[in-house]
Structure 1
Amino acid sequence: MKISPRAIASTLRDPGAWHVLMLHGEDAGLIRERATQAAQVITPQLDDPFRVAILGRDAHDRIVEECTALSLVGGRRVVWVREGRDGLTATLKECLAQQTDTLLIIEAPGLESRSRLRTLLEKAPNCAVIACYPEEGRALEGSIRQMLGALGVQIDPDALAWFAERASPDRAATRAEVEKLFLFAGEGGRLTLDDVRASIGDAASVSLEDAAFAAMVGDRAAADLAIERAMTTDRMTPIAVARALLSHIHRLRRVRLAMDSGQGRAEAMAGLRPPVFFRRTDAFGRAVSVWSAPALMQAAEQTQQLELACKQTGSPDVVLCKRHIAQLTAQARIMARQRRG
């Protein structure tokens, strides 16, 4: 059965109530984190060969055998399957027909909504199916605060908002940055905005920010360089690029609307939370002076369409992303020339 977002935490705290736990979605890091959490409830020692069997794609033919095996040392066993896909549907039907208390955990990133495997497990009353998608907004801020809190670290609201806006869409990358912040602050410490900037200012997401800022001021060379670095060196996805662009466009539009209502540019920019990083205030000011509110709204809609297109199976997402960046930079240059008159 499908597990609602509200019930995910309780399900992971008590995975023993299920025969199969399948985790699917776009966030591979979150899938792995939740799978680990569930497995450790059954057996804290995940390197115990008698109670835990981890099966990669090349070992999928052993799933039924491992699910029906008995623990030689007592206690419930975990069979942890990586790279789950539709081809396992028949195997899972056979597993569900067996009388066993083994917990079968399946990691299935990228499994489509019409998948036969998902349909089978969502209908089975003794199977839990959990969607794992990148968190955004308050949900992401809450997760970051929770991760830091578990390490004994507090964070100021503006620092949290700044971090969340720049966090990777992959949970594993976000957790790595949280651990870096813990090393910076120490147990019992408190993080300010300056602390967070100093600690993760060189994170991969900065490449995305570079691309967004360069595109919106019409700097094609800088935008192309930043997007290439983000995708190759930093291994960021086109979806992450689209979300970084959309976030930047929304902030520009917020300031543009404030200016249109009578505020000065500096005053409108000062009202942003989190504030514009001081090294980027010039580029932000130039962009907000070039783009009108309607043009920014149109750019936001086109960027949302880009994200949807990148999610389509088999789409040339990298090409679409680079083309979108080129279109934004070209539009920014045209509007800049028109304003100069």
Structure 2
Amino acid sequence: MVAIKAHEADRTLARLDPAWRLILFYGPDTGLVAERAATLARKSVDDPDDAFQLIRMDGDAIAADPLKLVDEANTIGLFGGRRAIRVSATGKPLIAAVEPLLTAPSQDALVIIEAGDLQRSNPLRTACERAKSALAVPCYGDAARDLGSIIDEMVRAAGKSIDRNAREHLSSLLGGDRQTSRREIEKLLLYLGDDPAVTESHIEAIVGDTAQREQAMLVDAVFAGRLPVLDLAQAKLAGEGLDPGVMLGAVLRQALALLKARQSVDAGRSVKDVVGTMRLPYPRIATTEAALGAWSTAKLTEAVGLLGAAVLATRQNAETGRATATRSLWTLARLARSGRSD
């Protein structure tokens, strides 16, 4: 059985066992899935630009005709050398195409398959984890340590520098998806121009949105029952002219997301597993895990009802909208403080 933990992925891929002839990349971080698949594909052939060595196949096409992958994997290269087959992600089942290759692995080609967030019971994931000739690689959102390495790598490649405080600040604004993080860093480095070092002022100017971060602070404060933080965030957002209905809408969206997640936890999934599928920026992972531990399905259902009524009230009477929003958010924060053991 070849199943590895997410934190073991890079180390395992660096020392790939030749017996593994099929590699499955799966997980909620589609950017990381694609990046790891592309990196492995390039390393597995002598010339990545040679279409006879690196073969790209469409996942939908293979799902419709499973023998296409089997035939390609068993084709002998005309000019010898190493070959790799990279299969793009699809929402359709690929198990019929993969099973023959697990039973009789290709000796000529390494098969690389990209997939989405596969549950433990998914037949494709289960089959690859059980086969001696395959490796299943989970791809989850970057942890702070991983983001720090990516930042250092990209900043160094651009001929710039960044100090520890700026790196930690930048890391706090990234996460969830590897490709999205890289695009944000690329945008930041382009903004730097001739400046030799990345500073916090550069980061504030170009990465993320301050109002969005303050809105996230308000949302997390509500579900954590942190009244002083809630007051501060609400005052800042009000000072920036944010409509109270928009504040309530942000909290309502989080309540609905937590309710869906809580139902998955009630069905038997772990909190960490569920939160891992939500593609959150790194700083919000811990607060969301804590909220799921503190809020029951019943209380989240109550919160959704209260927020829905408050949103409607602010639309019906704009003059009392801010007072309605404040009262509703305080009610929910107190509910969080009194319900931590639920």
| Equivalence map 1:100-119=2 (5 Å) | 100-119=107-126
Distance in 1 (alpha carbons) for counterparts of 2:58 and 2:196: 40
Once the 2 structures are TM-superposed, how far is the Cα of residue 106 of structure 1 from its aligned partner? 0.8
Corresponding residue number in structure 2 for 1:89: 95
Distance in 2 (alpha carbons) for counterparts of 1:50 and 1:228: 52
Corresponding residue number in structure 2 for 1:289: none
Corresponding residue number in structure 1 for 2:261: none
Instruction: Name which of 247, 259, 262 aligns with 1:223.
Output: 247
Runs of 5+ consecutive residues of structure 2 not aligned to the other structure = 223-229, 239-243, 255-275, 309-324, 335-342
Distance in 1 (alpha carbons) for counterparts of 2:115 and 2:87: 9
| Equivalence map 1:118-267=2 (5 Å) | 118-185=125-192, 189-202=196-209, 207=212, 209-213=214-218, 216-217=230-231, 220-224=244-248, 239-240=278-279
Runs of 5+ consecutive residues of structure 1 not aligned to the other structure = 231-236, 251-298, 310-318
Once the 2 structures are TM-superposed, how far is the Cα of residue 183 of structure 1 from its aligned partner? 2.2
Distance in 2 (alpha carbons) for counterparts of 1:135 and 1:325: 35
The verdict on how the C-alpha distance between 1:144 and 1:115 changes in structure 2, with shifts beyond 3 A counting, is same
Say which SS state the counterpart of residue 196 (structure 1) adopts: helix
| Structure 1 residues 72-108: Cα deviation after superposition (integer angstroms, max 9, x where no partner) | 3332111111225683223212123144220100111
Once the 2 structures are TM-superposed, how far is the Cα of residue 57 of structure 1 from its aligned partner? 3.0
Corresponding residue number in structure 2 for 1:57: 59
Q: Is 1:302 matched with 2:291?
A: yes
Distance in 1 (alpha carbons) for counterparts of 2:153 and 2:306: 35
- Greater CA drift, 189-198 or 107-116: 189-198
Q: How many residues end up aligned between the 2 structures?
A: 268
Say which SS state the counterpart of residue 76 (structure 2) adopts: coil
Say which SS state the counterpart of residue 100 (structure 1) adopts: coil
The one-letter code of the counterpart of 1:210 is Q
- Greater CA drift, 190-199 or 78-87: 78-87
Distance in 2 (alpha carbons) for counterparts of 1:102 and 1:206: 50
| Structure 1 residues 127-154: Cα deviation after superposition (integer angstroms, max 9, x where no partner) | 1211100123334333333343344433
Aligned alpha-carbon RMSD (Å): 4.1
Distance in 2 (alpha carbons) for counterparts of 1:303 and 1:6: 24
Distance in 1 (alpha carbons) for counterparts of 2:55 and 2:131: 23
The verdict on how the C-alpha distance between 1:102 and 1:186 changes in structure 2, with shifts beyond 3 A counting, is farther
TM-score (norm 2): 0.64
Aligned 8 A contact 1:86 1:116 in 2:
no
Identity %: 27
Distance in 2 (alpha carbons) for counterparts of 1:211 and 1:239: 15
Distance in 1 (alpha carbons) for counterparts of 2:9 and 2:158: 22
Corresponding residue number in structure 1 for 2:3: 2
Instruction: Name which of 82, 94, 105 aligns with 1:76.
Output: 82
The one-letter code of the counterpart of 1:239 is M
Say which SS state the counterpart of residue 142 (structure 1) adopts: helix
Once the 2 structures are TM-superposed, how far is the Cα of residue 29 of structure 1 from its aligned partner? 0.5
Aligned 8 A contact 1:207 1:229 in 2:
no
Once the 2 structures are TM-superposed, how far is the Cα of residue 158 of structure 1 from its aligned partner? 1.5
Aligned 8 A contact 1:13 1:41 in 2:
no
Q: Is 1:20 matched with 2:25?
A: no
Distance in 1 (alpha carbons) for counterparts of 2:121 and 2:40: 25
- Greater CA drift, 140-149 or 23-32: 140-149
TM-score (norm 1): 0.64
- Greater CA drift, 20-29 or 118-127: 118-127
| Equivalence map 1:16-55=2 (5 Å) | 17=18, 18-43=20-45, 46-55=48-57
The verdict on how the C-alpha distance between 1:93 and 1:329 changes in structure 2, with shifts beyond 3 A counting, is farther
Aligned 8 A contact 1:152 1:187 in 2:
no
Say which SS state the counterpart of residue 135 (structure 1) adopts: coil
Larger RCO: 1 or 2 (CA < 8 Å, sep 6+): 2
Distance in 1 (alpha carbons) for counterparts of 2:48 and 2:28: 25
Aligned 8 A contact 2:143 2:282 in 1:
no
The verdict on how the C-alpha distance between 1:8 and 1:151 changes in structure 2, with shifts beyond 3 A counting, is farther
Corresponding residue number in structure 2 for 1:256: none
